[in-house]
Amino acid sequence: MPVDHRRIQGPECSEDYRKPKTLDAALLKKGSRRADGRKCGEQRKIFLKPGVVSQAKGSAYIELDHTKVICSVFDPREKASRNLEQQTVRGEIFCEFKFASFSGVQRRSHQQEADDKEYSLLLKNALEPAVCLHEFPNFQVDVQVLVLQDDGSSLAAAITCAGLALADAAVPMYDLPVGLSKAFSGDTEFFDPTGAEERMCLRGVDGESDHGVFTIGFLPTFNQVSQLFHSGHISSDRFGKMISEVGTLAAEVHKAVQAILLSAVKSSIDSSDNSKLLL
């Protein structure tokens, strides 16, 4: 990703010519169906594929309907450490999260913006508990995440995708992390929200006090929460309840990711003559 702003001639920022859509409180259609026909607790169909970038050590691509994220992982390299004495016993995951400039309605700049940097950190914190960091002391594994299209839950998609990419890159891990997100406004809860639902729930609807969006990074095998990122307004009881609800759903996604990885390993055994490799 080019960072040198002097070399990029594009406009620094721009505004969409279309009128900003007013936030629609009636995203729930009749029969408690959402705008895209899902039920409140229903997830979008996940398309997930490892090994999509040939140059990378490991990579994965995820699609949740209109949310499209690609992730590549590279070989460990020596830490670009600033603090020499610090943390030599542990490796580090270095994440670069980027929304592509065309990913949303609003055009984004080529450089990492504030929320790109924030998401990079959130993703790093979500992935690090899953990785056996002690196996590569003083090294960092680079994880590059590019959101090609953003229609909500992009951080959750990135967590799942990066987890699969890390496994694909043969980085030793304790578990495959999965990311899930939920948005809520008033009594309505949207699991795996779309961009419009996210925006509405971040703002809240007039007269409703509770609203918000949260993303959880889960390590289902050891039942650990590696990231819990929330923004909104909610009571602790309800929040605690929602977290445990999402936890049960994480197991299903986890199974699916495991199955995908399993079949990827199988097909690579079948396709190439790995007999000598496996001696």
Partner 1 sequence: MSSTNERIICVPGQVLCASSNDHVAGQGTFERMGYIYASLAGVVKVEKKLEINIVQVQSLKEQSTVPSPGDIVTARVLIVKSRQCMCEIKCIGDIALTRPFRAVLRQEDVRATEKDRVKMYESFAPGDIILARVLPIMDVHTYQLSTAENELGVVISHSEAGVPMVPISWTEMQCPVNFTKKLRKVAKVIPENIDIDMEDNTETEKKPST
Partner 2 sequence: MADILLSEAEKTFILHGVRDNVRNDGRSCSEFRPIELELGLVENANGSARVRLANTDVLVAVKCEIDNPPSNFPDEGKLDFFVDCSANATPQFEGKGGEQLAVELAALMSRAYQTRESFNLSTLSIIKGMKCWKLCIDVLILECGGSLIDAISMGTKAALADTKIPKVSVIGSDEGTLELELADEADGREEPLDWHHAPCLVTLNKLEDSLLVDASAEEEACCAAALIVGVSPNKKITTTSIPGHGSFLADSKIFARALNLAVDVGVKLNTALEAAIKKHQTLKPPPRGFLD
Q: Which residues bind partner 2 (CB under 8 A)?
A: 15, 20, 82-83, 85-87, 90, 114-115, 117-118, 121-122, 125, 128-129, 133, 202-204, 209-212, 214, 218-219, 223-237, 239-241, 243-244, 247
Classify 58 as helix, strand or coil.
strand
255 sits near partner 1 (criterion: CB under 8 A)? no
Contact 180, 214 (CB under 8 A): no
Classify 172 as helix, strand or coil.
coil
Cα–Cα–Cα angle for 49, 150, 35, nearest 5°? 100
219 sits near partner 1 (criterion: CB under 8 A)? yes
Kindly tell me which residue out of 40, 109, 110, 139 binds partner 1, with binding defined by CB under 8 A: 139
Distance in Å, CB of 5 to partner 2, minimum: 16
Dihedral angle over CA of 64, 114, 168, 177, nearest 10: -70
Residue (105 or 262) nearer to partner 2, CB: 105
Inter-CA distances, 192 with 122, 164, 170, 174, 237, Å? 18, 19, 29, 25, 21
90 sits near partner 1 (criterion: CB under 8 A)? no
For the four alpha carbons of 189, 193, 199 and 200, in that order, the dihedral sign comes to: negative
* Host H or E run for residue 190: strand 188-191
Residue (59 or 153) nearer to partner 1, CB: 59
Please give the Cα distance from 173 to 72 (Å, whole number): 16
Using the contact rule CB under 8 A, the part of the chain among 121-129, 149-157, 165-173, 210-218 near partner 1 is 165-173
Residue (121 or 170) nearer to partner 1, CB: 170
Give the rounded distance of the alpha carbon of 246 from its chain centre: 15
Distance in Å, CB of 165 to partner 1, minimum: 11
Distance in Å, CB of 262 to partner 1, minimum: 6
Inter-CA distances, 101 with 23, 104, 107, 122, 142, Å? 23, 8, 5, 20, 21
Distance in Å, CB of 82 to partner 1, minimum: 11
Residue (56 or 156) nearer to partner 1, CB: 56
Residue (50 or 177) nearer to partner 2, CB: 177
Using the contact rule CB under 8 A, the part of the chain among 24-32, 113-121, 166-174, 206-214 near partner 1 is 166-174
Chain positions contacting partner 1, by CB under 8 A: 57-58, 75-79, 81, 84-85, 88, 132, 136-139, 141, 167-176, 219-222, 258, 261-262, 264-266, 268-270, 274, 277-278
